[in-house]
């Protein structure tokens, strides 16, 4: 599972539900979650949705996801110049889906061509060129966004372009996993999402509105609207292999 603030409800369920001992949890970045599943190291994983393309070795097992129907606040292009004045964008090497979304928006929403380079941005970016932007995801956005003049929320831009919510990650499992185990896991996630108020009573971060983030910015229920948004992303925006990473 991803180790960002956006998974706090899932983590709460996996630590506090009566059946939580049936599952061993490892916290990884999104790209590492995908790799662990692909290599057969994990039976269940919260994966970036771009990982699902051209695969048939999984099933989506949960009524829960990581999504947003407007500004998600934690997936953004950060820059010191407006988007149409950028010539390069640094991609977050912890990301699969957000990098893909950035490229889709640059081509179809902003109609602006830039070059791309992928880096580890977990410690921020030093000596960023004036005409460069950087994709950051998760907690890194909250830590480093004050260093930049512009913030382009990728979920909000997607919503404005397509009129659909954006789903960043879904829970998948190997197809042979038993229905009983999947049901138990789904109940654990439901327990966590149903107890967001309990999370807020015991968890806070300086200069960060966790309640706004968990209750307004994020959508955890994998609704019909969210499923439709995911279908639009996977079916309508195929990128050439050369930039599909």
Expressed as residue numbers, the domain containing 11 is: 5-67+165-241
The CATH number that applies at residue 207 is 3.40.190.10
Is the pLDDT confidence value at 242 over 50? no
Q: How confident is the model at residue 238 (pLDDT cuts 50, 70, 90)?
A: low
pLDDT in tens, 28-79: 988 889 999 999 999 999 999 999 988 888 999 999 999 999 999 999 999 9
Angle between helices 8-16 and 179-194 (to 10 degrees): 120
Q: Cα(129)–Cα(197) distance, rounded to whole angstroms?
A: 42
Q: Which residue from 27, 48, 56, 147 is spatially nearest to 100, judged by alpha carbons? A: 48
SS3 content of the chain, % helix, strand, coil (to 5): 45, 20, 35
The confidence band for 139, taking pLDDT boundaries of 50, 70 and 90, is confident
Over the stretch 93-125, which tens digit does the pLDDT of each residue have? 888 899 999 999 999 999 999 999 999 888 888
Structure tokens at 242: 């050369």
Count: domains in the chain: 2
Residue 237, φ and ψ in degrees, nearest 5 = -130, 65
In this structure, the answer to whether residues 28 and 38 fall within a common structural domain is yes
Instruction: Verify that 131 and 186 share a domain, yes or no.
Output: no
> 44 and 87 in one domain?
no
243 — pLDDT class (breaks 50, 70, 90)? very low
Cα separation, 15 vs 26, in Å, equals 12
240 pLDDT higher than 90: no
């Amino acid at each position: 599972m991803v180790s960002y603030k956006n998974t706090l409800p899932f983590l709460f369920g996996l630590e506090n539900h009566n059946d939580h001992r049936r599952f061993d949890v490892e916290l990884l970045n999104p790209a590492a979650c995908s790799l662990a599943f692909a290599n057969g190291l994990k039976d269940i994983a919260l994966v970036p949705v771009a990982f699902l393309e051209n695969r048939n070795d999984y099933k989506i097992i949960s009524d829960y996801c990581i999504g947003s129907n407007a500004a998600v606040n934690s997936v953004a292009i950060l820059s010191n110049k407006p988007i149409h004045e950028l010539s390069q964008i640094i991609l977050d090497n912890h990301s699969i889906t957000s990098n893909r979304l950035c490229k889709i928006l640059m081509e179809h929403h902003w109609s602006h061509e830039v070059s791309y380079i992928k880096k580890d941005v977990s410690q921020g970016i030093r000596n960023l060129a004036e005409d460069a932007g950087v994709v950051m995801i998760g907690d890194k956005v909250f830590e480093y966004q004050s260093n930049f003049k512009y913030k382009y929320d990728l979920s909000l831009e997607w919503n404005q372009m397509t009129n659909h919510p954006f789903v960043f990650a879904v829970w998948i499992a190997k197809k042979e996993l038993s229905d009983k185990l999947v049901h138990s896991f789904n109940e654990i996630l439901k327990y966590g999402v149903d107890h967001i108020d309990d999370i807020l009573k015991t968890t806070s971060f300086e200069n960060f509105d966790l309640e706004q983030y968990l209750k307004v910015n994020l959508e955890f229920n994998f609704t019909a609207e969210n499923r439709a948004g995911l279908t639009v992303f996977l079916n309508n925006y195929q990128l050439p292999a050369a930039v599909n990473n």
